[in-house]
Amino acid sequence: MTIDYLTIFLLMISGFGSGLFIGLGSGTTGTIMITFLTVFMGHSIHQAIGTSLMIDCIIGGIAGLIYIKHRNVNIRPGLLLAFTGVIGAFIGSRFTSSAPESGLAIVIGFIMIVLGANFLINGFQKNIDFVESKINFKGILKHKTIFLFITGLFLGFMCGFMGVGLAGIVGLTLIFVFGYEIHKAVGTALIMIFFISGSGTIGHIINNEIIYTAIIIAGFSAALGAISGSLVANKINEDKLGRLIGTVILILGTIMLLKYFLI
């Protein structure tokens, strides 16, 4: 990768934005970094996925420690999810190279558009109220440990395969199913994703799908963003934050799809 001042600046901005985004309300670096590395820098989707996972790992560890300091992490369920999630992430990362690049981009872009539009239109609390009104989780709660193991394995596989940290989905699962307060759900998800993204990264390193220069530059600024975001998270209105995140994800998902359908 040719490094010039503009490239360094854009990597720092995208890294900081990713860290800030995740530190504020969980989520994944993939929504920003995969799009940036493929659309604007011309790297392959496989390299972007591996690089995104490693940056996710950095952010999850740093932001997670801050949530631990503020006692917003429930360690036991996080470890249960991480246990099978690590296995699933490594398996998923080994399948990435065999998947068609355009197919991966289309799947990731479509998921981003659906999630982004949903949060933009409905906000955060309405999604919680809707799910709770439609689904009875009492049966799941009777077998909490088994459910956590299965969920961790599935989310880990998707994380390693698509390069999407899925901390946001883990957080939503803890909120919807187990009734966690949002900040504790985010903190627990960040700690889990530190282990899962790390496992997925190992698989991509084996596949030689890592952009190390991007990790050094974007990873450093992502760490700063994660610190900033996690420190002010308790002051952010959850509904407004959800709509803002939805807007960003929707735009990035649209860009991702346009690249492969129109360019």
List per-residue pLDDT tens for the chain, 263 residues long: 456 788 888 889 888 888 887 776 666 676 678 778 887 788 888 888 888 888 888 888 888 888 888 888 887 777 777 788 788 877 877 776 555 655 666 776 787 788 778 777 876 666 666 666 656 666 666 677 787 788 778 877 876 676 555 666 677 677 777 777 777 877 888 888 788 788 878 878 888 888 998 899 988 998 998 888 888 766 666 676 667 667 766 776 787 677 666 55
Residue type, 56: D
Give the pLDDT score at 128: 62
- H helices of 135-164, in order, are 138-142, 144-162
Question: What three-state secondary structure class fits 118?
Answer: helix
**Residues 69, 73, 79, 82, CA torsion sign:** negative
Q: Residue 81: which residues within 8 A CB-CB, separation 6 or more?
A: 148, 151, 152, 155, 170, 192
Tokens representing residue 241 in the block: 């934050």
Whether the model pTM is above 0.75: no
Rounded CA separation 248/147 (Å): 31
Specify the DSSP class assigned to residue 237: -
136 exposure class (CB count in 10 Å sphere: 0-12, 13-18, 19+): exposed
